[in-house]
């Protein structure tokens, strides 16, 4: 009896000691394969209808085997995605041991839609049936540049009349710059009777910056424009005329002429409008006249006295 109790007690102690160990043991998550998918074209540029070679590689960077590796669409279904001819192996599943890789080579054709997008693209995704440790590198993306058909930009530059009047007023000889989105000047032109054109412009987004004649118009606003292949984009540039102000500068036709001689205006208090200054030769004349008048007056007084004296005798 004592032996049974001792065994039971010992078993209880061992079981109790094991419980913390069991609960303390971490639960290890099941390891998964890590698929890495890469791809690249055999050239950087191609034309519509060209055949390009695409080389791809699927690798397993994980520590466990990748089972049931399969492909699926890795991007949008658009008209510029390449079409691959010998891609039957895209439908078959395969396995990859840890650290193993499998190479693929596909022959693809550049579609017509790539001309409008200016590039052809490839999107494809690879996954394993038994999970994935990191999904960020499961999609292969590759591009090949396709110089597409050029587009054009045209339009008119006119004055925004305020208030509106009959008919537009076109601006001649204004410079217009075509800029890319970074502000780099791609091309420039000059308006002819308000008309302007940018020909053979690659598809994409641009900005138009007008430079109207200085002083006559307010600076024009920068316009956003998008160019499409084989299409013309029309953009009208409206300017506002600067209000004219009266000039205070005399014009050449109204230059100042010195006033001399008969053009001298009448002096204040002068009935004839001419007054001689009492200086120089004029002063001598006046003095002579005064002396003569005084002499004549003295002679008249003497003659009067003599006549009075003779009458009294």
93 and 176: one domain? no
Instruction: Find all residues with CB under 8 Å of 311, minimum gap 6, and list them.
Output: none
173 and 105: one domain? no
More confident site: 27 or 132: 132
155 and 122: one domain? no
More confident site: 48 or 206: 206
* Mean pLDDT across the chain: 75
pLDDT band at 74 (very low <50, low <70, confident <90, very high): confident
Q: What does the pLDDT read at residue 275?
A: 42
Residue that is last in its domain, among 145, 162, 179? 145
Average pLDDT over residues 286-296: 60
pLDDT band at 13 (very low <50, low <70, confident <90, very high): very low
Q: For the ranges 14-18, 77-81, 197-201, which has the lowest average pLDDT?
A: 14-18
Q: What does the pLDDT read at residue 306?
A: 60
For 280: left if phi > 0, alpha if psi spans -120 to 50, otherwise beta; the answer is left
Q: What does the pLDDT read at residue 90?
A: 83
Residue that is last in its domain, among 239, 265, 295? 239
164 and 218: one domain? yes
180 and 99: one domain? no
Q: For the ranges 4-8, 83-87, 97-101, which has the lowest average pLDDT?
A: 4-8
Q: What are the φ and ψ backbone dihedral angles of 265, each rounded to 5 degrees? A: -70, 150
Q: What does the pLDDT read at residue 105?
A: 92
Residue 247: inside a domain = no
Question: Domain holding 100: CATH number?
Answer: 2.60.40.10
139 and 42: one domain? yes
8: pLDDT strictly greater than 50: no
Instruction: Find all residues with CB under 8 Å of 20, minimum gap 6, and list them.
Output: none
103 and 161: one domain? no
Find the Cα–Cα–Cα–Cα dihedral 189, 190, 195, 200, rounded to 10°.
-10
130: pLDDT strictly greater than 70: yes
265: pLDDT strictly greater than 80: no
Residue 8: inside a domain = no
Residue 116: inside a domain = yes
Question: Which DSSP helix (H) or strand (E) runs through 12?
Answer: helix 2-24
More confident site: 113 or 195: 195
Structurally, the chain folds into a number of domains equal to 2
| pLDDT tens sequence across 154-178 | 999 888 766 656 556 888 889 999 9
pLDDT band at 104 (very low <50, low <70, confident <90, very high): very high
Residue 234: inside a domain = yes
Which residue range is the domain that position 118 belongs to? Answer: 35-145
pLDDT band at 291 (very low <50, low <70, confident <90, very high): low
Q: What does the pLDDT read at residue 146?
A: 86
98 and 165: one domain? no
206 and 125: one domain? no
pLDDT band at 301 (very low <50, low <70, confident <90, very high): low
63 and 127: one domain? yes
Q: What does the pLDDT read at residue 135?
A: 86
Cβ pair 39, 71 in contact under 8 A: no
39 and 139: one domain? yes
Residue 185: inside a domain = yes
Q: What does the pLDDT read at residue 264?
A: 40
102 and 194: one domain? no
Q: What does the pLDDT read at residue 84?
A: 86
């Amino acid at each position: 009896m004592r032996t049974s109790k001792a065994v039971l007690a010992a078993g209880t102690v061992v079981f109790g000691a094991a419980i913390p160990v069991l609960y303390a043991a971490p639960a290890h998550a099941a390891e998964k394969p890590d698929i890495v998918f890469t791809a690249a074209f055999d050239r950087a540029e191609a034309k519509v209808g060209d055949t390009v070679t695409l080389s791809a590689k699927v690798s397993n960077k994980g520590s466990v085997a990748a089972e049931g590796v399969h492909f699926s669409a890795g991007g949008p279904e658009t008209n510029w995605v390449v079409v691959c001819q010998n891609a039957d192996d895209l439908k078959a599943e395969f396995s990859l041991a840890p650290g193993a890789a499998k190479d693929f080579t596909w022959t693809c054709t550049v579609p017509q839609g790539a001309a409008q997008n200016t590039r052809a693209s490839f999107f494809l995704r690879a996954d394993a049936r038994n999970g994935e440790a990191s999904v960020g590198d499961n999609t292969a993306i590759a591009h090949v540049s396709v110089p597409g058909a050029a587009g054009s930009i045209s339009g008119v530059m006119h004055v925004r009349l305020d208030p509106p009047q009959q008919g537009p007023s076109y601006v001649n000889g204004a410079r217009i710059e075509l800029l890319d989105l970074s502000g780099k000047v791609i091309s420039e032109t000059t308006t002819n009777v308000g008309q302007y054109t940018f020909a053979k412009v690659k598809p994409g987004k641009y900005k138009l910056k007008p430079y109207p004649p200085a002083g006559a118009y307010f600076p024009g606003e920068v316009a956003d424009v998008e160019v499409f292949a084989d299409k013309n984009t029309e953009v009208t540039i409206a300017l506002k005329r600067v209000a004219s102000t009266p000039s205070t500068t005399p014009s050449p036709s109204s230059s100042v002429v010195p006033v001399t001689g008969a053009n001298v205006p009448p002096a204040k208090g002068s009935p004839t409008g001419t007054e001689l200054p009492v200086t120089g030769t004029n002063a001598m004349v006046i003095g002579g006249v005064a002396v003569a008048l005084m002499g004549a007056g003295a002679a008249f007084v003497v003659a009067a006295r003599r006549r009075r004296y003779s009458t009294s005798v």
